[in-house]
Amino acid sequence: MKMNPEGNAGEEPNRKLRADSNRSGNNIIRRTLEGHTRPCVDCGVTDWQMDDARGEITCNSCGLVVEENVIDPGAEWTNRDRSQDRSRVGQPLTYTLADKGLNTTIDVRDLNSGSAGRHGISSQSRRDWRRRRVVDERSKTRKSRERNLVRANQFIRDHSGLPKPLQEETARLYRRLSGEGFVTGRSIAGVTAACAYLVARQENLPRQIVEVSEAFDVKEKELSRLIRQVSRKLNLHKISSPDQYFDKFISDLELPPSIHTQIEHLWSVIQPHEELWQGKKPMGVAAALIYKVSNEASSPRTQSEVCKIANVSEVTLRGLLRLIEGLLSQLGEVSKQ
């Protein structure tokens, strides 16, 4: 079947061109499309064109139609509900849902009397749809692994206190551990708490173990053990630095923002001397620096207030202060305290 192809011959086709306009030595144009690279069987010329309107691939030389009803990979903008929204996209995949957001959810809010009345649903239909909703919810958690993920994701959303992107990463790590069988025989809350702690630490938003254990209702000793196991399993080893706690402690102690510059200066003096702070609690070192600078900057805080925020004992705080004072005296730094 032959035809005279319509449209502009120079229009760029939707299909990927392998050689858009290669000319041979005889000045013959050679155009190919994906899946059509051989010469035409009728005229022997390699000059193919895609007709978007007809969905056909034709030969520009003789008009031979070699393929019909070609699928259009472009966007479909037909508006069938007479609304202004012509988008054809949905919610992106998310790890914070057990089904990644791919399943359809029957919202209970659409089945109450007011919404159902606006949608023209009778009372009998409402009862039927409520029953269908129950069956639909049960079918999503029929497998034990799916129930496990549902509960873990609920823990992450309700108790982690992390931003949305970090919740996604925490849920992804938990899903990976669940797929590898790591969660079997362990507490769901404990593993999710360990994942949340490690993700926050990787993104320089460290959380204290005590704080995370209270949020997830997990014993501190169990959480510490799970953090070590998960970090070895996922190779998420990272040493927290005291400066990562400065912002949080300053905010919790309600100190003026201007004190941050002085704390950073003192930390820049101490940081090169790793023998002073390496191997010690970073929260304790941060608390000692903040306590020292706050008392020198006329914004004093008591040792008990600082220790309560940093979750260290006053004995530890005083010991770190003596080490810092000794180092500063060796370096010739003048202390007002």
Q: Give the start-to-end residue ranges of the domains of the chain.
A: 1-72, 108-140, 144-234, 242-331
- Whether residue 189 has pLDDT greater than 90: yes
- Whether residue 222 has pLDDT greater than 50: yes
CATH number at 242-331: 1.10.472.10
Q: Which two tokens stand for residue 111?
A: 């089945």
- pLDDT value, residue 113: 65
Span 85-124, pLDDT tens digits: 566 666 677 888 877 777 777 777 777 767 777 777 788 8
- pLDDT value, residue 86: 60
- Measured in whole angstroms, the distance separating CA 278 from the mean position of its chain's CA atoms is 31
Higher-confidence position of 300 and 83: 300
- pLDDT value, residue 121: 79
Give the other-Cβ count within 10 Å of 57's Cβ: 21
Average pLDDT on 31-45 reads: 83
CATH architecture of 1-72: Single Sheet (2.20)
Q: Check: CB of residue 267 under 8 Å from CB of residue 233.
A: no
Tell me the pLDDT band of 223, cut-offs 50, 70 and 90.
very high
- Whether residue 17 has pLDDT greater than 60: no
Q: Domain 144-234: what homologous superfamily?
A: Cyclin-like (1.10.472.10)
Q: Check: CB of residue 307 under 8 Å from CB of residue 317.
A: yes
- pLDDT value, residue 19: 41
Question: How much of the chain exceeds pLDDT 70, in percent?
Answer: 84
- The b-or-e profile of 152-190 (16+ CB within 10 A means b, else e) is bbebbeebbebeeebbbbbbebbbebbeeebbeebbbbb
Tell me the pLDDT band of 22, cut-offs 50, 70 and 90.
very low
Question: How much of the chain exceeds pLDDT 90, in percent?
Answer: 18
CA distances, 82 to each of 14, 85, 110 (Å): 28, 9, 22
- Whether residue 5 has pLDDT greater than 70: no
- Whether residue 1 has pLDDT greater than 60: no
Tell me the pLDDT band of 150, cut-offs 50, 70 and 90.
confident
Domain pair 1-72 / 144-234, same fold:
no
Q: CA-CA distance, 318 to 306, in Å (whole number)?
A: 11
- pLDDT value, residue 128: 87
